[in-house]
Amino acid sequence: MIAASNQPGGPAPPIAEPSANLVIRSLEKSFGGITALSDCSFEVRAGSITALIGPNGSGKTTLFNCVTGFYRPERGEVRFGGALLARLRPNEVVHLGIARTFQITRIFKNMTVLENMIVPIRQIGLRTLFTAGIKGPERERAEALLEFFGIAFLRNEPAGRLSFGQQKLLELAAALMAEPKLLMLDEPAGGLNPVMIDRLTAYIRELNVGGMTFLIIEHNMGFVMELCEPVIVIHRGRVIAEGSPAEVRANPAVLDAYLGD
Amino acid sequence: MRIDQRLRRRWPWAALALFAVVPLAMPEGFYLDLLMFTFMYAAMAVGWDIMGGYAGYVSLGHVGFFGLGSYAAALLLVHLGLPVFMTAPLVGLMASLLGAGLGFISLRTRGPAFVIVTLTFTYVAQLLMLDLKSVTGGSQGIFLPLLDLPANLVIVPFYYAMLALLVIAILVSIAIRRSKFGLGLIAIREDEGKAEASGVNTSLYKILAFAISVWFAGTAGALHAQYLNYVDPDLAFELIITLNLIIMSLFGSRGIVWGPVLGAFVIYPLSAYLIFLLPSRLAGQLHLVALGVVLVLVVMFLPDGVLRTYMAWRKKGPKDYGSVEAQASMAEAPG
């Protein structure tokens, strides 16, 4: 469960890069007088599919933004493996192995599907930067991912022409091009029909079996209960419950948060 | 379809061959001068478009680099005796370094800061050249030694130099459009936050793009100084030069390799003809008015520019989009 560190004389390093725990400690963020996160602490274990739920305005997306470098938290720290994230820029967070999607799908609408796949960049090197963009192993990987998500036949379409569901899959596929160890999804099932949700669930499971860690914000409780373990509930910017789906469902504080005062 | 494609790939080479022999046919006069300036503007507009079209960051400072390029080349020639044809690319590099510095200050944030900083930069550069009298001669400017050529042939090397600059600009622009770097720039234009979330180092990309972009302005400025054998603060920093680049790019289509080229080849000859037609007392002002009118018309009726509008019109209906390679190359670009 703890990120494997390759000590000399220890076991041979695994083939895939070891994932790491995401540790969030006492995070605080406010906008003007409104406190979005206050003393928010939890951990995302490597290899888990962790859900982050809570009523609207509870601070879930703010937390995502603090982790991925879009916001600077006022206090607290975010660690991934050995790295401190709180002062990094979004692209640097990606380079550490954390990719994300957005609540409102963000893709490059005027670029083709395949071009959308080539934009993400994990490592920066001048040589890779200035040779032809769409070619070689990278192109093969992009094609394979598009096949995996069943949208390869759209590769040369402008991304803006895709249906809503296809755009969500494209955003997910493109995020995977950055080879993340931890993938943070903001409402991946939002607006998808039940068939699409089943497919998405299967995709996430398969990727997770391959070693990828997930942190997922979602309002679709069926999706969360089926896929995620553990479930973390935040309310007014702090964690109020954490545990298996069954435990969380049985927790009165959670019901209170959703229905109460 | 196939013949059509082959034509599309080859016409630039045909045009290049044609332009290469023009001076042999008529080595002097109005048309050579006209073509040379068209090449110069086209090269600078293609350069401008790398920043303004691909990355979507409008620079109002290109003439600043043009002017400083003029001065740098003039000073290198007058004080060190280095011929401009030799120093021009290096002067361009100096412009790039300066551009990187300016970018470092103004491109780490998003939004309009860049526009303001580049415009301010132009005025600061002009003021410096005006006030550093001991170096630049102030408003009197600097006279450059004449080239040792018969007067009627003096334009020929400039003609070829500007043509070469244009070819380089087009090749660089195509290479960028095809590269991962170019995709990153377009991603920045489309959604900068998302580009960052995709791992694109947006500040670095923008700074790099701007440095490449102003190389052409600096190099052109150097050549231009020697062509006129003279540089002064008014001539070197005419804001109209930047405006020309923008109008050419907008007219031809931003963010497409051939857009600014088309724009330059239409706008420059038109405005030169206008200046030629009008009484010289009015030409300066009226020509500005005409440029303004063109800008307004383009923004109102052709917001995507001629080339993009034409491509969209041709693509209408259930047509395939062609391979991505074809889109990345030559005139085809998504959007």
As given in the structure block, the two tokens for residue B4 are 């059509």
Residue A257's pLDDT is: 85
Taking only the tens of pLDDT, chain A with its 261 residues reads 333 333 333 333 333 455 689 999 999 999 988 889 999 999 999 999 999 999 988 999 999 999 999 999 999 999 998 888 878 999 999 999 999 999 999 999 999 999 999 998 776 666 666 776 777 888 899 999 999 999 999 999 999 999 999 999 999 999 999 889 999 999 999 888 898 899 899 999 999 999 999 999 999 989 999 999 899 999 999 999 999 999 998 898 888 888 765
With 0-12 / 13-18 / 19 or more C-beta atoms within 10 angstroms meaning exposed / middle / buried, residue B100 is middle
Residue B325's pLDDT is: 36
Name the nearest CA neighbour of A145 among A110, A109, A183. A183
Report cis status (omega within 30 of 0) of the bond before A230: yes
Best A129, A171, A185 member to test B by mutation, with max B CBs in 10 Å, is A129
Residue A83's pLDDT is: 86
As given in the structure block, the two tokens for residue B198 are 């995709």
3-state secondary structure A25-39: EEEEEEECCEEEEEE
Residue B28 pLDDT level (bands cut at 50, 70, 90): low
Mean pLDDT of chain B: 88
CB contact under 8 A, B180 and A120: no
Residue B160 has pLDDT above 60, yes or no: yes
**B231: part of which helix (H) or strand (E)?**
strand B230-231
Residue A7's pLDDT is: 37
Residue B331's pLDDT is: 37
ipTM over 0.90: no
Residue A123's pLDDT is: 66
Name the nearest CA neighbour of B91 among B109, B104, B74, B79. B74
CB contact under 8 A, B196 and A178: no
Q: How far does A257 lie from chain B, in Å, by closest CA?
A: 31
Whether A102 contacts chain B with CB within 8 A? yes
Residue B330 has pLDDT above 60, yes or no: no
By C-alpha distance, the chain B residue nearest A172 is B198
- Tell me the chain B residues in contact with residue A157 when contact means C-beta distances shorter than 8 Å: 321
Whether A115 contacts chain B with CB within 8 A? yes
Percentage of residues of chain B with pLDDT beyond 70? 91
The angle that helices B30-49 and B62-80 make with each other, rounded to 10 degrees, is 120
Strand A238-243 with B142-143, pairing: unpaired
Residue B7 pLDDT level (bands cut at 50, 70, 90): low
Lowest model confidence (mean pLDDT) among B38-42, B208-212, B296-300: B296-300
Could you identify the residue written with the tokens 């991925």? A68
As given in the structure block, the two tokens for residue B26 are 């008529």
Could you identify the residue written with the tokens 């400690």? A25
Residue B36 pLDDT level (bands cut at 50, 70, 90): very high
CB contact under 8 A, B191 and A134: no
Residues B207, B118: contact at Cβ < 8 Å?
Answer: no
- Tell me the chain A residues in contact with residue B196 when contact means C-beta distances shorter than 8 Å: 69, 89-91
CB contact under 8 A, A128 and B196: no
Q: Compute the distance between CA of residue A60 and CA of residue A234 in angstroms, rounded to an integer.
A: 7
Name the nearest CA neighbour of B193 among A95, A88, A91. A91
pLDDT, tens digit (0-9, with 9 covering 90-100), for B183-229: 999 999 999 999 999 999 999 999 999 999 999 999 999 999 999 99
Could you identify the residue written with the tokens 């973390």? A232
Residues B105, B117: contact at Cβ < 8 Å?
Answer: yes
Best B198, B201, B319, B329 member to test A by mutation, with max A CBs in 10 Å, is B198
Residue B55 has pLDDT above 90, yes or no: yes
pLDDT, tens digit (0-9, with 9 covering 90-100), for B226-261: 999 999 999 999 988 999 999 999 999 999 999 999
Name the nearest CA neighbour of A31 among A5, A68, A61. A61
Residue B109's pLDDT is: 77
Percentage of residues of chain A with pLDDT beyond 70? 88
As given in the structure block, the two tokens for residue A103 are 């609540």
- Tell me the chain B residues in contact with residue A115 when contact means C-beta distances shorter than 8 Å: 183, 186, 324, 334
As given in the structure block, the two tokens for residue A158 are 């402008």
Residue B319 has pLDDT above 80, yes or no: no
Q: Sign of the CA dihedral B92, B94, B97, B101?
A: negative
Residues B43, B168: contact at Cβ < 8 Å?
Answer: yes
Residue B324 has pLDDT above 80, yes or no: no
Contacts with A28 (C-beta within 8 Å, 6 or more apart), sequence order = A35, A37, A38, A39, A40, A73, A74, A75, A76, A237
Residue B206's pLDDT is: 95
Residue A128's pLDDT is: 63
- Tell me the chain A residues in contact with residue B200 when contact means C-beta distances shorter than 8 Å: 91, 119-121
Q: How far does A195 lie from chain B, in Å, by closest CA?
A: 28
- Tell me the chain B residues in contact with residue A95 when contact means C-beta distances shorter than 8 Å: 199
- Tell me the chain B residues in contact with residue A133 when contact means C-beta distances shorter than 8 Å: 178-183, 328
Lowest model confidence (mean pLDDT) among A113-127, B286-300, B318-332: B318-332
The amino acid occupying position A146 is L
Residue A18's pLDDT is: 59
pTM: 0.88
CB contact under 8 A, B325 and A134: yes
Percentage of residues of chain B with pLDDT beyond 90? 62
Higher pLDDT, B7 or A201: A201
Residue A5's pLDDT is: 38
By C-alpha distance, the chain B residue nearest A101 is B197
Residue B322's pLDDT is: 37
The rounded radius of gyration (Å) of the Cα atoms in chain B is 20
